[in-house]
């Protein structure tokens, strides 16, 4: 039962850690069941899919976009999305700002940092992110808020490696918080941890865990 799994997960989460129920590739009925169990934050990775789902579901749902986002799709998301987890370039951040301005919204965003030992993952390297923040151009963007960082660990059974990668993201969060966001109250999120490694992520300071399979079962591709 989806509702039982939601309640089990929430009972495990420490104060200050929020659950993003990853509902991508799952039907509206499954999301509705999780909603009835009290879940309000859902994560999707396909623009067309989340646009269709948000039309059919309650308006108090917080939709988080957790996939790789192309600049030409941004305009479809900004009218309703609560948080974009995967900002992996300044160009994408600027496009979110541009499109959000058109609908008079400020969209919360996370900087995606590449922490895995896998080339297939997206994200800034830590040095690329430092360089982007150093230029200061992002300070002129008034329709986005940078609220923290996101990362995905290597898909491996070696949990020590996973913990080290999560620890590196937490350390980087603290570094850029101190250098660029020390007085910014909303810069507080570390999005890391999925169904198989959320315990390790929480231990290393995650504030948002993205859990799908544990809640909804295997995806329907």
- What are the structural domains of the chain? 2-9+17-216 (3.20.20.10)
More confident of the two residues 190 and 122? 190
Retrieve residue 189's tokens.
């999120």
Average pLDDT for residues 147-171, to the nearest whole number?
Answer: 96
| 117-138 pLDDT per residue, tens | 877 668 999 999 999 999 999 9
Mean pLDDT of the chain: 96
Q: Please tell me the pTM assigned to this model.
A: 0.96
Rounded to an integer, what distance in angstroms lies between the CA atom of residue 58 and that of residue 32? 9
Beta bridge partners of 108: 83, 145
DSSP 187: -
pLDDT tier for residue 218 given thresholds of 50, 70 and 90: confident
Rounded to an integer, what distance in angstroms lies between the CA atom of residue 90 and that of residue 92? 5
Rounded to an integer, what distance in angstroms lies between the CA atom of residue 120 and that of residue 117? 9
């Amino acid at each position: 039962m989806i509702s039982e799994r939601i309640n089990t997960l929430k009972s495990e989460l420490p104060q200050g850690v929020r659950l993003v129920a990853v509902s991508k590739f799952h039907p509206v009925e499954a999301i509705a069941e999780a909603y009835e169990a009290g879940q309000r934050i859902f994560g999707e990775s396909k623009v067309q899919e989340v646009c269709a789902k948000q039309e059919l579901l309650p308006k108090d749902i917080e939709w988080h976009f957790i996939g790789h986002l192309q600049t030409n799709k941004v305009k479809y998301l900004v009218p309703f999305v609560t948080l974009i987890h995967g900002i992996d370039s300044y160009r994408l951040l600027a496009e979110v700002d541009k499109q959000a301005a058109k609908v008079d919204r400020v969209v919360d965003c996370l900087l995606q940092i590449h922490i895995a030992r896998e080339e297939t993952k997206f994200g800034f390297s830590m040095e690329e992110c430092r360089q982007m923040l150093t230029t200061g151009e992002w300070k002129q963007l008034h329709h986005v808020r940078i609220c923290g960082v996101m990362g995905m660990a290597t898909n491996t059974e070696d949990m020590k490696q996973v913990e080290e990668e999560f620890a590196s993201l937490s350390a980087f969060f603290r570094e850029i918080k101190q250098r660029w966001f020390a007085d910014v109250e909303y810069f507080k999120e570390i999005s890391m941890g999925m169904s198989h490694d959320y315990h390790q992520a929480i231990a290393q300071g995650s504030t948002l865990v993205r859990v799908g399979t544990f809640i909804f079962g295997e995806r329907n591709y």
